[in-house]
Chains A and B, each alone.
Chain A
Amino acid sequence: MTTMPAGRRRPLRPARVVLHLFLGTVAVGWLFPILWAALTSLRSYEYTATHGYVSLGGWTLDNYVTAWRTAEFGKHFLNSVYITVPAVLLTLFLASCVAFVIARFSWKFNIALLGLFTAANLLPQQALLIPLFRMFTEIPLPAWMSDSELLYDSYWGLILVNVAFQCGFCVFVLSNYMKALPHELYEAAMVDGASVWRQYWQVTMPLCRPALAALATLEVTWIYNEFFWATVLMRTGDKFPVTSSLNNLRGEFFTDNNLVSAGSVLVAIPTLVIFFLLQKQFVRGLTLGASKG
């Protein structure tokens, strides 16, 4: 680029203008599909059908009401909560346990253990579908846990599979984070006679709050967005979490793009809220995994 590196000299004005123009255009272009969806969702189908979509007018909120009712979003959002909340908590808990042992003690299996977890997070899920699908249809659950009486088509199954796949990433990030904590902390705790569990729970975990917050934000988004497992490991339409219920929405709203857009906006809202409120956590979580934070 033609501008000078920041901080060296006052940059040339015209070059800066070009840079802002370029970035502004790209940014608006990037926001456009989302804004377009929001715009379409606020217009009545009758109006856009007669005037075309490249027009203005026909403002209404009816699409949201109709979409919410037809696609039963209330129920599906609740399903997403049932799956996401336990899955995130369990992922963070189990991952922090492993990460703590990896960071706190060195033995010869540390590297292998870390590799085993991290790699599990990167395998293509579809490649594991066949045995997992069979396994889930063979494992019985008591009726009070799932009306399917199987791990297949139950929230439990989805929670477990999400935890198993997301653990790797969290183990990786948390073990790096924990290794950076000063080791003297443990010396002090040991002298106090603190057990390993207390060292983990009362010394390490409170210090990991920033990393845990970042990971929680990221994992909520990822598990809420998870589409594949819910699509293949669920059968009962009523039990689908919101992201995979999108696929049913396609059939129901087939002829009405305004309804599709209202549905899309509704599904996007939780992640957008997280994004705007916890942007820092979100970004930190993503980059913690790639660099050493």
Chain B
Amino acid sequence: MSDLPLVQADRAVPPAAPTTVTGGRGRRLRLLSRTDRVVITLMVLVPLLLVVALVWLPAVATVLLSGTNWDGIGPLGEIDWVGWKNYDDVVNIYPPFVPAVQNNLLWLAALFVVATPFGMFLAVLLDKELRGSRFYQTALYLPVVLSLALIGFVWQLIYSRDQGLLNAVLGSQTDWYGDPHVNIWAVLVAAGWRHVGYIMLLYLAGLKGVDPSLREAAAVDGSSEASTFFRVVFPVMRPINIIVLVVTVIESLRAFDLVWVVNKGRNGLELLSALVTQNVVGEASRIGFGSALATIMLVVSLVFITVYLATVMREEKR
């Protein structure tokens, strides 16, 4: 990033007159011509409208719809406000809801307790100057470039009951993707396989940014490598830690592709995202009800998005 071309010498400017300089970044909007102001407005407005129309407006609409009994067909005028009824129904009379929440939490726990620490551990090992480090890194993050839908198919070759490698090796007859007692674990192995590489990559970048003198100082003090990591390096990587935490939470909440290609999120693979989708594109389109499920997802994600933004914005101010 440091090899920016220099400004050509003949374009170099003497220090600008004090009246135009207000310090730091240019904050001279009022000095801009009318055309410039129109251009700036368009540069912001066009992308903004797109994002508001296709992301934020639907988000607000989801929350509003979750309080109605709209069936998705009738005119908007016939919508009745039903308050919390949809939420009540979701929690009390919708059997897949509890398994879905459990599975989402299990997804989070598996990524957070197993895959994330393992990715971090591998990053620490690979951060050393090691012969062949590139090969190891490449192998580990290769799955990151594959879509989770494709990963579902790649693992089917291992999990399939009749033609899968796992049963051939174990001599068992388990339908790893079909059996509701084991399929969530089978899917989690595949999801973790990808997550580890991603986390390793993030921490590898984080570790490169840690001031080496910190480690040297700790080593001089006789601190072991493990304790140096946990007491010096890990705390310094706080921003990366928070980003990894948020990435993990969001990934677990957004998990969808993998279970959808396996069995559309039924029969042991219920996830909130799949339930919402079933309620819209499935046979029964229950808009208010589906929106209540969606709103639950939105609220959880917004909490963590706020944490994320607070972290990265604080970083930026430094």
Contact = CB atoms under 8 A, between A and B. Distances in A.
Contact of B280 (A97, A105, A129, A183): A129
Interface string B103-141: 000000000000000000010111011111001101111
Contact of A118 (B61, B144, B273, B312): B312
Interface in A159-211: 160-161, 163-165, 167-168, 171-172, 176-177, 179-188, 191-192, 195-197, 200, 207, 210
A207 B4 contact: yes
A20 B142 contact: no
A109 B79 CA distance: 36
B44 A122 contact: no
> Chain B at the A interface: mostly helix, strand, loop or mixed?
helix
A275 B62 contact: no
Given A34-B154, A132-B58, A161-B54, A107 B35 contact: no
B145 A271 contact: yes
Contacts of A115: 309, 313
A8 B216 CA distance: 9
Contacts of B82: none
A130 B280 contact: yes
Contacts of A133: 280-281
Interface in B184-212: 193, 196-198, 201-202, 204-206, 209
A126 B33 contact: no
Chain B contact-residue range equals 35 or more
Contact of B26 (A6, A183, A200, A282): A183
Interface residues of A, number: 124
* Chain A CB within 10 A, most for which of B54, B196, B209: B54
B277 A243 contact: no
A104 B153 contact: no
Given A106-B24, A164-B55, 17 more contacts: A1-B225, A3-B128, A22-B125, A27-B135, A116-B51, A122-B308, A127-B298, A130-B294, A132-B58, A164-B53, A187-B13, A196-B40, A225-B149, A260-B156, A264-B150, A287-B201, A290-B206
Interface of A: 1-8, 19-20, 22-24, 26-28, 30-31, 33-34, 36-37, 40, 48, 52-54, 94-95, 97-98, 100-101, 103-107, 111, 113-120, 122-135, 160-161, 163-165, 167-168, 171-172, 176-177, 179-188, 191-192, 195-197, 200, 207, 210, 221, 224-228, 231-232, 243-244, 246-247, 249-250, 257, 260-261, 263-264, 267-268, 271-272, 274-275, 279, 282-283, 286-287, 290-293
30 contacts: A8-B219, A26-B122, A104-B25, A106-B27, A115-B313, A116-B56, A117-B51, A118-B308, A119-B305, A119-B309, A122-B308, A123-B298, A124-B254, A124-B301, A126-B272, A129-B280, A130-B58, A130-B280, A131-B62, A135-B58, A187-B13, A188-B7, A243-B150, A247-B261, A257-B156, A264-B154, A275-B145, A287-B202, A287-B205, A290-B244
